[in-house]
Structure 1
């Protein structure tokens, strides 16, 4: 037996990567669903920019709430890291102070990047057979290609060739 009082929420993360055609199909699909079904799209600001174009007004007119999430403060990120470490039984001193500062500077308030950089730094720490994550471990993580900018990767590939005489 179906309970009609329940509300269904469908959440799509990284919605800015969706083609507008897919968003149109989702809009048509949700017209057939009961009114208590909701679609939640999480994405970068460019999603709102694309939806604000005149050709997408039919989709934008169905938005009932939107919010821009600002970068987190360093204190909030530090609290998140300490909480996550405690959840897995590691001490708050697993990252030394200098390593923590490099992480906070590198992620610029982005929680997902913070989590990923912490994981990668901890892996580098384990590979080094150490218990405390230091700046060298964080820097080893940041040297991986996906942490570097596109321009930095291109500069690395185009090194000046020496001319031998």
Structure 2
């Protein structure tokens, strides 16, 4: 809707994890380089954590698209699967029959690993939302990783989830799995400067001819409101672009961003945004508060003086001054 208004080829802040829209922050580049090396080194079990919207899926998409090693990819998007459903899904992805007999399936899977070893292929198994996996299914993944090491490790399992996964792994039932995880990575949010660069990067990728769509103050407020979380930045910026189009303004300033944040709260959404206070309004409110308090106190003092309630106090103060 607003693309023509801003001269854009497409929506710059789309939420889909597009490989071409991946922003290589310092942290994301480091994690990506580490994961590439881990796959090349035949690490069988990896852990990647990060808050919701931190860019885990986008990073893994870039990883799998950039690997030069031939292989097969299997992504498990639904972590609420029962054990039997998991093996059925895994079998369907790799062309293996699962008739409910896990032992027979593991034989078939071991044969597949051996074929991959002989052909120089890799198998990447990505488990998304791993923080909600059942303990039983997490244990099955450990056994798969053990099976892979019996053949030369052509299987790399990625456990991908939110930070609470780290806490789950400390449970006694998952002690062996926790020990088995060789490498761990965590994705945090963007820094203040990276947030600004991210906004410009996404706009340029969408064909923006100017770096002044968002004012500098607007970019600062976007960072303060989102904490540098990429998904939250996308949501807020997309709302701001739409609001600017509807209002017919050529750019986005701090006031418009504040309006968007306020509207996103009012709408009743499960809002993530924290609205930093407008210091001008705060100062103005503080001045009026002080004036009102002083007026009330002055009125009270006058009333007390008329009633004679302050005479003892004044006499006491005068005596204290003389004694001093």
The corresponding residue for 1:15 is 130
Structure 1 residues 141, 19: CA separation in 2 closer, same or farther (over 3 Å shift)?
farther
Structure 2, gaps ≥5 residues long: 1-114, 274-324
- Give the drift of 1:102: 1.1
1: distance between equivalents of 2:207 and 2:134? 42
- Give the drift of 1:108: 1.1
1:55-95 per-residue CA deviation (whole Å, 9 max, x = no partner) reads 11132122110023333211111111111110111121111
Q: Quick check: 1:97 aligned with 2:221?
A: no
Q: Pick from 98, 106, 115: which aligns with 2:225?
A: 106
Greater C-alpha Rg:
2
The corresponding residue for 2:236 is 117
Q: How does 1:1-165 map to 2 (within 5 A)?
A: 4-31=119-146, 35-90=153-208, 91-142=210-261, 143-144=263-264, 145-148=269-272
2: distance between equivalents of 1:23 and 1:87? 39
Q: TM-score, normalised by structure 2?
A: 0.40
RMSD of the alignment, in Å? 2.7
2: distance between equivalents of 1:126 and 1:22? 48
2: distance between equivalents of 1:24 and 1:140? 48
- Give the drift of 1:103: 0.5
2: distance between equivalents of 1:103 and 1:60? 37
Structure 1 residues 28, 123: CA separation in 2 closer, same or farther (over 3 Å shift)?
farther
2: distance between equivalents of 1:121 and 1:51? 40
- Give the drift of 1:31: 5.0
1:11-41 per-residue CA deviation (whole Å, 9 max, x = no partner) reads 3444324343443343345555663121212
- Give the drift of 1:45: 2.1
The corresponding residue for 2:39 is none
Which deviates more, 128-137 or 67-76? 128-137
Structure 1 residues 109, 54: CA separation in 2 closer, same or farther (over 3 Å shift)?
same
Q: TM-score, normalised by structure 1?
A: 0.73
